[in-house]
Structures are given as structure tokens and as C-alpha cells.
Structure 1
Amino acid sequence: MSDDGTAQGSQWYDAEAGPLVRPYAVTGGRTDPGPSGVRFDLIALVAFDEAAPDGSDEGLLGPEHRALLTLCRSETQSVAELSADADLPVGVVRVLLGDLLEAGFVRVSRPVPPAQLPDERILREVIDGLRAL
């Protein structure tokens, strides 16, 4: 042991951060979010599914899965927000969300594509009409 309490020569421990776990260890070496076919864009919205399996199934999940579920329970969040709040890389969060989606714990909704948003001209006409009232 060194003076700061860390094991000498240990590359898996950082005195300030604690033990280091590589991202591939968290996901079991997987990089694909799973067979669900859902793309987890950074702005995709993730919410806890109220019809999720009972809480006893959560005991089978890893700590990172449970952390994401806790964040999703409080409010619907984007993939980017979950990544920041859980302090995990986005790639890891995508894989973990794929697991949670497949198990039925979360729902994912995609934001409206820009091509389906109303035309700016129409919005300006609505604003002008409201001002005229």
C-alpha cells in the first residue's frame, strides 16, 4: 500500500475517483443496444413504463441498470440527460437502455422529425393572427 491508501502499481484504482470499471465491463463487451431495433438518439425520450414487471425483477439488474431506472422514474429524460446524470458514456447508456427496453422496464419515444414539423410560414401566420386579436 502506498501513503495515500492505494495498492501500489494498481492501474484499476484512482485515489480521487475510486475503483475504475471499464465501459465494456459494464456492458459485458456489447456495443449494440440489442435486437429491439430502436435507435437511441441523444434526444430520444426515455420514460419508466408503468406496466413494467414487478420490483422483484429489478434485483436481477446491475447497479447501472437500476441507476437508470431510478432516473427514469422521477421524470422522462433524454438519452443525453441520462448519460450525464448517471455519469456514464452515451454508448454504455444506449446498451443498458436496450436491455431495459427489452425487459419492459422503459418506453422510448422519438422526437418529431423536423420534416413533420409545421412550416415556419404557417407558424408566422398563426402568430400574426393572434396578434391581430
Structure 2
Amino acid sequence: MGARQEGPWLDDAAGRLIRPYTVSGGRTKPTATLDLLSMVMATGGAPQPHMGPEHSLALGLCGGPTSVAEIAAHLKLPAVVTKVLISDLVDCGALTARAPRYHTNPTDRSLLEAVLDGLRQRL
């Protein structure tokens, strides 16, 4: 068996040793209303003792406002599984969550063009 990688239950040769939905106990519906752009932040509370290591990893990523999408990417878990983990942490008071704020219509053509121009300048 290969050496252990970044997170728990990973192996160099085999990859993730447990299925992603095992992490959420098979649950696919979070109790909190979360969007991929929802911002979550740690409150200073601790996760419940019955929560797994992924809960602690997610909580550790939330020292400042962090999006659900960013947490999912760091944990290398599907977004829906990440939403369940985050909602568990919100339910126990370890995280707070707020919906994304849209100052304008996110599908506004001028906004999308401005984003594209900004990306082109950075590349």
C-alpha cells in the first residue's frame, strides 16, 4: 500500500479508500440552504464528537469567509457531499452561512464581459 496523501483515507495508488457518500452517511440533502457561492465562516465552536475527520477539515478551511465551492475543491468531494458536511457544521453552531449577494444580475452581459476582460488581462 502506498504512502498516505493530503487528506484522510487516501492512498497514492488507490486514491480515495472510501466512497464520497460514505462521508455524509449516505445523505444527499443538506439541512441548510446552501449555494455553491454561499459563504461560510467558523464561529469558534467545535464540531460534535460524532462528526468525522472531513467535518474537521472543512471547519479548518473556514477561518475567513469561504465559498462552498472552494471547500469542495479542497476536500476533493462532490459539492452535494460538501453541502451536507457544511450543513452539519452549521446545525451544531460551528459555522455560519450566508447566501451569496448579487449586486447586479449575474447573467448581465456587461458584467460577464467585464469578467472576461479581467481574465484576459491576467493571462
Tell me if TM exceeds 0.5: yes
Structure 1: runs of 5+ lacking an equivalent: 7-12, 121-133
Task: Supply the RMSD in Å over aligned alpha carbons.
Answer: 2.7
Match of 2:96, SS state, is: strand
Q: State the number of aligned residues.
A: 100
User: What is the rounded CA distance, in whole Å, between the counterparts of 1:15 and 1:84 in structure 2?
Assistant: 18
Q: Aligned residue for 1:10?
A: none
Amino acid at match of 2:57: A
Q: For residue 86 of structure 1, report the CA deviation from its aligned partner.
A: 1.4
Q: Aligned residue for 2:114?
A: none
Deviations 1:14-71 (A, max 9, x none): 752445211221111111102xxx3211110010013x2xx4x554320000000111
Match of 1:60, SS state, is: coil
User: What is the rounded CA distance, in whole Å, between the counterparts of 1:72 and 1:92 in structure 2?
Assistant: 17
Whether 1:21 and 2:6 are equivalent positions in the alignment is no
Structure 2: runs of 5+ lacking an equivalent: 3-9, 111-123
Q: Aligned residue for 1:48?
A: 42
TM-score of the superposed pair, with normalisation by structure 2: 0.68
TM-score of the superposed pair, with normalisation by structure 1: 0.63
User: What is the rounded CA distance, in whole Å, between the counterparts of 1:19 and 1:80 in structure 2?
Assistant: 20
Amino acid at match of 1:111: P
Contact 1:58 1:66 in 2 (8 A): no
Q: Aligned residue for 1:129?
A: none
User: What is the rounded CA distance, in whole Å, between the counterparts of 1:106 and 1:116 in structure 2?
Assistant: 28
Q: Write 1 or 2 for the structure with the bigger share of helix.
A: 1
Greater than 6 Å deviation, 4+ residue runs? none
Whether 1:64 and 2:61 are equivalent positions in the alignment is no
Match of 1:94, SS state, is: helix
